[in-house]
Structure 1
Amino acid sequence: MKAIVDTDWLREHIHEENLRVIDSRFSLGNPSEGRERYKESHIPGAVFFDLEKDLSGYVKKHGGRHPLPNMKNFLRKVEDSGIDNDTTVVIYDEKEGAFSGRCWWLFQYIGHEKVYILNGGFAAWKEAGGKTESTSPVYPPKSYRPSFNEDIVASLDEVRSIASGDQNIPLIDSRSRERYLGHEEPIDRIPGHIPRAINLPWTDGVKGGYFIQGEEQNERFSHLNKAEQVIVYCGSGVTATPNFIALKEAGFHHVKLYVGSYSDWVSYEDHKVDKE
């Protein structure tokens, strides 16, 4: 078992004392929608982690739309959820895989090993006949000892060195083909992509809410060397995480996320972008 579990696995283990379920549902168009859905109905025992309040920090001039959260605040949220270093964590969103992916990545960043995504999300749980509840659980706080994994974070300088041609490291733009080519840009001020980036849309690895498996996933990255470093980015460090997970599932050992992503890149006036 690597990063993903299915509804059968969760149904079998959900009552274990040392397991915690996290609901990370979110809507970029309506930031309060995820929490409202959680209050209406969620997987039994699940706690809620909000993308903007818990999984991101304050937006500044640089750093992108969803910068890393203050780690003291994030760790306090983890501990208040009754999670320690030995807790098995299962995370779900509606079915996108991107919001749960961001939460999963942050647990990886603090050094948590037993953290998984529920394949198919809440939609799959309901489809499988899983029980739900509307009450918000309260757990006794626990103590968490972080071991920050800086090896999965790509710095701005690393990305600059790729864009300038100083380093020949695969830089994967996880956004849609239209945004990569600069044909459309609904959010960021400048359309296009970081120079020398290649386009592998994250949605090609998540079909109908489920991460594709095995050879089909491997085929997406067949032109890359599994032994070498790979960096992924998107618009703001959220939808790149399914590609991060897919690469790890496919056997890539050195994968990094450029957290600030394209929204951070274009916040610098001297940064060039490419189109087409």
Structure 2
Amino acid sequence: MDPVEPAHASGAAVSAAWTTLVDVPTLVEALGREDLRVVDCRFTLSVGGADAGAGERAWAAAHIPGAVYAHLERDLSGPMGPGLGRHPWPDAEAFAAALTRWGIDATTRVVAYDDGDGAFAARLWWLLRCFGHHQVAVLDGGWAQWTATGAPLDVERAASPPPSIAPVATPAFDASRLLRDAEALQRHLDAGGVVLDARATARFRGEVEPLDPRAGHVPGAINRPYADNLAGGRFKPAAVLTTEFDAALGGRAPHEVVVMCGSGVTACHHLLAMAHAGLDGARLYAPSWSGWVDDPARPVATGAA
């Protein structure tokens, strides 16, 4: 099932090992394989009264054949708590139960997609990576690219039930890939590490804040909006991303980098883009900005970094 790496319009390549990105033709060819599970991660963040159930209804109406649905808040996040942010990291047992429900075990190849810029799909990609599951990729261009090419759909009917599998074992999430609290983030900064904030520049500078109680950024963080990873709705070529991340990070090694965003979702887009660019090894500050500002005593910076 390992594809030959085809070129496409944006110049990005599909990972032969299915560990970062997969393009539409490759996934179309693989549909129906028993060792493949496609996961629909469409979701709408609750901004301005948006409906958090819209993505699931969209999946029920039409989806990639065989796709199961992963809800950001129900399946890809855990219970709320002090300092955990708006989308807390899920409990390992709960995530393992979701994988069992979806028919995903250690032998399964997974492709995730959404109908936005890939951030929700990247959240699942990173969760699986931290769970020790590396044969997972994101559909480059997502639902928009799939439907634009006239690829096959399941329309107005539920996906076929996933195959029954034994309950997935519950390893601990890889702590080396995660920072779970603000104290760990501050220690990282104090040791000279880089914190890369994936939010839009206006939010980073504190000019606007549509979601969280305080505006600005963690003192010492630098900004690269995650949208900069894309061109024409697809990921930029790996070589371009390598050059851009090297410039943003001042040539620092990936293991010196912690990424964050508003709630630990769009930061995963950076982790995916960096891995695609051969810069794997960065970590996620899971609570992100919403967890940092949960304590009003923590310092906040505004303006450019």
Q: Which TM-score band (shorter chain)?
A: over 0.9
Q: Which residue of 2 aligns with 1:178?
A: 202
Aligned pairs for 1:130-141 within 5 A: 130-133=151-154, 134-141=157-164
In structure 2, give the amino acid aligned to 1:264.
G
Q: Is 1:229 the counterpart of 2:260 in the alignment?
A: no
CA drift of 1:218 comes to 1.4
Q: Distance in 2 between matches of 1:152 and 1:126?
A: 34
Q: Secondary structure at the match of 2:63?
A: coil
Which whole-Å CA distance do the structure 2 matches of 1:197 and 1:245 have between them? 20
Residue pair 2:37, 2:104 contacting (<8 A) in 1 also: yes
In 1, Cα distance between equivalents of 2:136 and 2:293 = 33
Q: Which residue matches 2:109? A: 88
In the alignment of these two chains, the number of paired residues is 274
Aligned equivalents of 2:73 and 2:193: distance in 1?
30
Aligned counterparts of 2:77 and 2:227: Cα–Cα separation in 1: 22
Gaps of 5+ in 1: none
SS at 1:31's partner residue? coil
Task: Verify the 8 A CA contact 1:95 1:124 in the aligned structure 2.
Answer: no
Q: What amino acid is aligned across from residue 200 of structure 2 in structure 1?
A: S
Between the aligned partners of 2:180 and 2:56, the Cα distance in structure 1 is 32
- 1:146 is displaced (CA, Å) by 4.4
Matched, 1:256 2:277: no
Q: Which deviates more from structure 2 when the two are superposed, residues 37-46 or residues 199-208?
A: 199-208
Contact 2:218 2:300 in 1 (8 A): yes
**Does 63-72 or 195-204 show the bigger shift?**
63-72
Amino acid corresponding to residue 23 of structure 1 in structure 2 = D
Find the residue that maps to 2:270 and give its secondary structure.
Answer: helix
- Give the match for residue 11 of structure 1: 28
- Cα drift, residue 206 of structure 1: 2.1
1:124-158 superposed Cα distances (whole Å, 9 cap, x missing partner): 11111111113222123323234432221024232
TM-aligned CA deviation for residue 63 of structure 1 = 0.2
Counting only pairs closer than 5 Å after superposition, residues 162-241 of structure 1 correspond to structure 2 as 162-163=188-189, 166-222=190-246, 223-226=250-253, 228-241=255-268
Correspondence for 1:76 among 97, 107, 111: 97
2:124 matched to which residue of 1?
103
**2:44 maps to which of 27, 37, 54:** 27
In structure 1, the partner of 2:176 is 151
SS of the aligned residue for 2:273 comes to: helix
TM-score (norm 1): 0.95
Equivalent residue number for residue 160 of structure 1: 186
Cα deviation, 1:9-54, whole Å, max 9, x if unaligned, reads 1011112111000000000132010001001000000000000100
Bigger shift: residues 218-227 or 130-139 = 218-227
From the superposition, tell whether residues 243 and 193 of structure 1 become closer, same or farther in structure 2 (CA, over 3 Å): same
Aligned residue in 2 for 1:245: 272
Q: Bigger shift: 66-75 or 232-241?
A: 66-75
Q: Is the 8 A contact 1:44 1:131 kept in 2?
A: yes
Question: What residue in structure 2 maps to residue 63 of structure 1?
Answer: 84
Amino acid at match of 1:190: R
Q: Residue 31 and residue 208 in structure 1: after superposition, are their counterparts in 2 closer, same or farther (change >3 A)?
A: farther
In structure 2, relative to structure 1, the CA distance for the partners of 1:227 and 1:48 (3 Å cut) is closer
If the length of structure 2 is used for normalisation, what is the TM-score?
0.86
Q: Counterpart amino acid of 1:18?
A: D
Residue 129 of structure 1 corresponds to which residue in structure 2?
Answer: 150
Conserved? CA contact 1:97–1:206, under 8 Å: no
Root-mean-square deviation over aligned CA pairs: 1.4
* Stretch deviating more after TM superposition (67-76 or 196-205): 67-76
Q: Hey, what's the Cα distance between the residues in 2 that align with 1:57 and 1:141?
A: 25
Query: For residue 25 of structure 1, what is the amino acid of its counterpart?
Result: R
CA contact (8 A) 1:92 1:121 kept: yes
